Amino acid sequence: MGTPSLSLCDFRSRKVGFSWLARFASWNFSALLLAFLLTGRGQAQNAPAQEQGPPPAAGAQAGPVGAVVEPHGVKQAKASPKYDVNHIGERGIGTGVNFYSLERERRLGEVMARGIDLHTKFVTDTEVTDYVSRLAQKIVRNSDCLVPFTIKVIDSQDIRAFSLPGGYLYVDSGLILASDTEAELAGMMAHEIAHVAARHATREATRKFFWDVASSLSYLGGPIGIGLQNIGGIGAPLTFKKFSRDAETEADLLGIEYEYAAGYDPEAFVTALEKLHVIEARMHKVKSKIPIYNFFARIPFHGQIAKGFAAYPMTEERIQRVQAEIAGLLPGKQEYVSDTSEFQEVKYRLGVSQAPVLRRHKRGEGNANGPVLRRNRPD
């Protein structure tokens, strides 16, 4: 009996079948990997669980104490022990897969801070810098941070504060002048301190390392390589943007807890976010006059696409979430610190030092072609 021969028709049918199986495996792998990247596994930390509840009936009474009904019938469930405000410093904040030890993270921040310091003008008034440092250290003592902090005040009209890995905090003088109360300033600083406590920067760097390793598998070929090539172009940006949004959400939650533990009114952070929302609305109004901006705004699903690629959650959503967390997670207090005379004195001192100075030249002095202020003398 001879060996059975394989006809050209059979060969083509088997080739087509193999090609179809390869594409099917590629699609399935792509879907599974994309789902893994975009699900809760990619969150910065597991935030307090939320469960979907039925919409409240008309005339229904409020739910039990500690439960908050958010828009669209979302009911906040019991807080996770990781976010128990009564155990700050003992909750394991910032744990998880991280290739950076605390010592290495501190060295990384030191190198980054050295680069910033070389090209930055700082406030030199010790009254201002000492006050900001004391305020920040007070919040750090009531946080989950495991590293010492270095605080500097930048001489800038920008309204911001930012932190670096390993405990480096920078506060713009413009933020101090824009804050109405000490609690507002404390809330913005607490948000940045929370980023350091949760080690968001180095955990994101670790995450990018894993993605680089996974991307290298695309050169191996086969269904896995094809799947990685298919989603690599859009999957990586989306998952990193989502991690960034989750990190901001967690920093909001931890920040109001640190502000609360330090004795400040956490509602002041909501006030600061509302000011930010007003600024964003003003910018949106200006942009709406640009024709191309209006064109993109009319694209279907524009809002969903913008949210997917945004590095920050929408400010309006942040405000609603923080308000819900304050009501549902933080026990009530009889008294909060809202403002202090020391803050107002420092703010006044800073404002005076940054006020423009008009210098007058006497006749024959200075630039002969420059402007000169002259006053009319009474006859």
Answer yes or no: are the C-beta atoms of 93 and 255 closer than 8 Å.
Answer: no
A 10 A CB-CB count for 332 gives: 6
**With 60 as the cut, is the pLDDT of residue 8 above it?**
no
Mean per-residue pLDDT of the chain: 75
pLDDT score recorded for residue 355: 72
Q: Which residue has the tokens 């070389």?
A: 118
Q: At what angle do helices 267-287 and 222-261 cross, to 10 degrees?
A: 130
**With 90 as the cut, is the pLDDT of residue 284 above it?**
no
Q: How far apart are CA 292 and CA 299, in angstroms?
A: 11
Q: Provide the residue ranges of all domains of the chain, joining segments of one domain with +.
A: 48-54+64-353
pLDDT tens digits, one per residue of 153-172: 999 999 999 999 999 999 99
| Greater pLDDT, 130 or 371 | 130
pTM comes to 0.69
Residue 200 burial by Cβ neighbours in a 10 Å radius (0-12, 13-18, 19+): buried
| Greater pLDDT, 44 or 362 | 362
Of 11-25, 217-231, 237-251, 337-351, which one has max mean pLDDT?
337-351
| Greater pLDDT, 144 or 62 | 144
Identity at 68, one-letter amino acid code: V
End-to-end CA distance of the chain: 133
Q: Which residues touch 327 (CB under 8 Å, ≥6 apart)?
A: 68
pLDDT score recorded for residue 213: 62
| Greater pLDDT, 143 or 95 | 143
How does residue 178 score in pLDDT terms, banded at 50, 70 and 90? very high
**Mean pLDDT, residues 189-218:** 83
| Greater pLDDT, 282 or 238 | 282
pLDDT score recorded for residue 245: 85
How does residue 51 score in pLDDT terms, banded at 50, 70 and 90? very low
As a whole number of Å, the CA-based R_g of the chain is 28
Identity at 298, one-letter amino acid code: R
Q: Which residue has the tokens 């009904």?
A: 69
Tokens representing 170? 């920078």
Q: How far apart are CA 152 and CA 167, in angstroms?
A: 11
Going through the chain in order, the beta strands assigned E by DSSP cover 50-52, 74-76, 150-154, 161-164, 168-172
Ranking 75-89, 106-120, 165-179 by mean pLDDT, the lowest is: 75-89
Identity at 103, one-letter amino acid code: E
How does residue 209 score in pLDDT terms, banded at 50, 70 and 90? confident
How does residue 303 score in pLDDT terms, banded at 50, 70 and 90? low
Q: Is 361 helix (H, G, I), strand (E, B) or coil?
A: coil
